[in-house]
Structures are given as structure tokens and as C-alpha cells.
Structure 1
């Protein structure tokens, strides 16, 4: 019996192989379109909050060449891949957590005297700024990229739908239903959004694309044998 899934994010060949090696088929598209804003990053901050790889890419595109050397900055990151991309640019990573709420708590507990530049999208969650404001930790928010829904309609009956962000869930749901499909989510934040539309939710062990795919293989393995 063939299993076909829908991914709300374009997968790389190596990521698709995780599924195809287990005889799982996948259609994929971008539920969210990302566009970087040509705006100069404020050079007066040494402590930078990066919540995604997109914020890192936007920062590199827009950071003034006359500003501080990158190795003089300090980064506070959400996600292992975000931290890896920051490190590749020569910026030291001081803190890394898997979720924004965890990072905000760590900043409050360990770095309350610092002033941060919080780089985000136009549709950011309130986890980080809400907690920093509550505990009077100084920060400036700067929108680095635009997050725009790409609401396509799907007629196929998928066994599972792979979600990678709350905004991706919202984009998919604008023209579709989860129905009897299993919603496999990248983490608790995305799962919380998916739970508004379905009770059939599975959460990956780690908040990475690969972990979502591995969870899909684990869930459907009895149906592909």
C-alpha cells in the first residue's frame, strides 16, 4: 500500500530520501513565501536575537559594511540550524534553545542587563518580546523579512500533512481541511495551531525538518511493510 504525504515546505533531495527509502511518496510546496526587506540593520547593537535561518540571511544581506566586525557581535538563537548558520558567519553564539519561549526565559535569567536587537518577521509570535517586556529587559524589535501566505488548494487525499510553522498551518487551512489526515508538526508551537483544526496530531521529537520526516516514517511504517 502506497502512502502519500503533503509537505507544506519544499524538501531537499536528501530530505525526500528519508521518506522514499521507506516507500513513502511526498508532494511538497511552500505554504509561506519569504521576502527579505532591504532595510539597514541597526549597527548600534552587539547582542542579536535570531529566531530562524531567515533572520540570519536577512541580517547578512543588510548589515552595514562599516559597522562592527561580525566576530565582535553576540548571538542568541532559536534552533540548531539557526545557530549553525550564525556560527558559519563568524558570529559567536552565546545561547541556543529549541523554542522562542525558552530563549526568552534564558535571556531574562542569565542576561537581564544586556540590550538586544530582536530580528523577526512581520508575523512574529509574542513569546520573546512579551517576556522581555514583562521583565524589563531592554530590546529593539526590527522586522527583517516578510512572511506571506501561499494558499493553494489540494484535491488529493493525503495520509499525512507535514507542518513546519504556525503560519504554514494557517496558510494551508485557508483553502483546505486536514480532515482524516494525520498532521505531523515540527514542534509544540506548530502543533498548538494545528490542534485548532484537528485532533489527529503528531509532534516530532526535535524541532527540525528531518525529525518531522523521521516521525512520519515511524508512524506509517506498519502501513508500508
Structure 2
């Protein structure tokens, strides 16, 4: 049986999608998230979230506050979903951080923002905002720690959901000539350092990564 390795623990419905296909699945969390004990000001009008973890950090600090008046600008469908589930108003949702920065520069030039991020956040968004004199405060609200694990077996495909996940995996394993499925272009850019067998999801969702892996591996049975 063909087997894939997922570098994050999947939800029951995601797992079902995979196991119904007749493929084997091994899963583990390549990353550990640590929420930091920082003070997150709640007097801003505009908040930037580039990951689900930044939203989770925000929600931990705003339990008893009226947050429905805040305007949110975010990256990713899952980030948008968790914001809306918690009553936040999403003004703009895009698939990558540089597109979000461009939108803010074009449409909200005279406003002020709070950008919540992790220690491994990418440079594009703050660089674009700074270059265009957008006023923003950046707060590191969580840390991503690599949680490397060595696998003494080979897999028919590897599923990656962030550049950090690849960094974690390659600490204990080789990616040379391996077939990898990536959630988006930034993850694929990291994978290109190790392999040229890369398939990128059509949409940056976990489900689409799974669909691509199932489609590809069943086709080449």
C-alpha cells in the first residue's frame, strides 16, 4: 500500500478523506506552537493576522472585550474562518502576505494597524508597509518551535504546510529526490532547496494538499 507522511496531525474529516482513498497515512506534528505571555493592545481599529495562530493568540487576550468593531485583514481561508466564527469583521482576505500588504497600501494608506505574528514570520508584509510609510505596530504573539523526528522508512509522498515544517523535517531526514506536496508557493520555495519533485495545491488549504496527493498517487498506481 502506498503511504504518505503528513507533517501535521489531520482532523478526523481530513483523515477520512485520505483513508477512504485506500492510501496509508502516517502523521505527526513537525512544529510546536508556544503562545507568549505578551500584552496585546485592544485600542486599535485595524488588525493584521497572517496565520490561525496569530488569531488564537489574539483571542486569548480579548476574551471579555467587544471585538466585533475591530477590522481584520488576514491571509488564508482558515484564518478568515476562525476570525468570523469569533465575531470579527474581515475586511480583506488574500492568499499571501505581500498581496495583503499591497491592498493595505492601496486602500488604507492613512490608517494605523496592529500586526500580530510569530517568530518565524516572513519579511514581505512589514517591508512593504514600512516602505510605503504605513503606520503599524508589530507584536510577536507566539513562537514556532521545530519538533524534528527521524523516520527510518521511505514514503511515497510527503505533505508540507509551511516552510518551517520542511526545516523541521530535514533536520532528521533527507528530502533528496522525494515527492512532496506543498500548500503554497512559499512552502514550495523551501522544498526546492532539496527536491524538484514538487506538486503545489490549487488552493492553499490542507484539504487541497490531500486531494492533490490522492489524485497523483492513485493515478500512478
Same fold by TM-score greater than 0.5: yes
Q: Aligned to 1:174, what secondary structure does the other structure show?
A: helix
RMSD: 1.2
Q: How many residues align?
A: 221
Q: Is the 8 A contact 2:177 2:196 kept in 1?
A: no
Q: Aligned to 1:71, what secondary structure does the other structure show?
A: coil
TM-score by length of 1: 0.95
Q: Is the 8 A contact 1:40 1:63 kept in 2?
A: no
- 1:166 deviation in Å? 0.5
- 1:122 deviation in Å? 1.0
**Counterpart in 2 of 1:177?**
174
Q: 2:141 aligns with which of 139, 144, 150?
A: 144
**Counterpart in 1 of 2:120?**
123
Residues in 2 aligned to 1:154 and 1:23: alpha-carbon distance in whole angstroms: 22
TM-score by length of 2: 0.97
Correspondence 1:56-205 to 2 at 5 A: 56-63=55-62, 65=64, 69-205=66-202
- 1:212 deviation in Å? 0.2
**Counterpart in 1 of 2:54?**
55
Q: Aligned to 1:5, what secondary structure does the other structure show?
A: strand
Q: Is the 8 A contact 1:40 1:64 kept in 2?
A: no
**Counterpart in 2 of 1:43?**
42
- 1:64 deviation in Å? 7.0
Structure 2 residue runs of 5 or longer lacking an equivalent are none
Q: Aligned to 2:105, what secondary structure does the other structure show?
A: helix
Give CA-to-partner distance per residue, 1:68-119, whole Å, 9 cap, x none: x211110001011111111111111000001111111111111111111000
Task: Tell me which stretches of 4 or more aligned residues in structure 1 moved more than 6 Å.
Answer: none
Residues in 2 aligned to 1:63 and 1:119: alpha-carbon distance in whole angstroms: 13
Residues in 2 aligned to 1:141 and 1:129: alpha-carbon distance in whole angstroms: 8
